[in-house]
Amino acid sequence: MFEDPLFWLLVAPGVLLGLYAQARIKANVTKYAQVPTPRGVTGAEVARRLLDAQGLQDVHVEPTEGVLSDHYDPRTKVLRLSQQIYYTPSVAAAGIAAHETGHALQDAEDYFPMEARTYIVPVVQLASQVAPWAFVAGLMLNMNALTWIGVILFGSSFFFALLTLPVEFDASSRAKKLLVNHGIIGEDQIEGVDKVLDAAAWTYVAAAVSAVGVWLFYVLMMLGRGRSASASSR
């Protein structure tokens, strides 16, 4: 697989986009982590203020380990912020905290793409575990139907990555509006939030491009095997 030029032709764009996205998010988070919020509010305070303003007092805000490990858990109604975001009064921290608050609002409003993504997570996790075994077993046993099952299951990651895009873009859009409307970030600082959240969005785009590249490789490989089998049987 790794020796096939087609694999790298299809996967390379996602890899390069991923490297670009990581470089952008690292640079922008580092830069705007040095820019303080107007009234010195931390990421945790930003999240709490925005959640309370939207009537989401039941959503808890907690610190968590890791770097940029910020996320909202719709199952437990907990918004978790990495410590550098939770405790820091910066534009970067405010933007990321507001973004995660956007996910909590999506959950409260039953935003369809988020609801769909949440429900298919167990299916995608199971499919990602079964797919390699089905694919390899199908090749070894020369059972095209089983191999195609593996290919189809690989496609679940692609579908999940695509479904993630509207969820993340919508959360960022909500974040920017909330920060300005509630006076947490001034108009002169919203550019910093834009750069941080836009850089983060590129990581999801890169993941989607990588997922579709890998899936297309398997599809084209199977189609090529089918044509070769037909030609040899003549």
What does DSSP say about strands 71-73 and 60-64: parallel, antiparallel, or unpaired? unpaired
For residue 64, what is the DSSP state? E
How far apart CA 4 and CA 207 sit, in angstroms, is 21
62 is known as an active-site residue: no
How far apart CA 185 and CA 89 sit, in angstroms, is 11
For residue 74, what is the DSSP state? T
Instruction: Give me 15's structure tokens.
Output: 């890899």
Q: Which of 62, 65, 100, 191 is catalytic?
A: 100
How far apart CA 36 and CA 88 sit, in angstroms, is 9
Token pair 């490297």 in the structure block, residue: 19
Instruction: Give me 204's structure tokens.
Output: 């999801």
The residues annotated with a catalytic role in the active site are 100
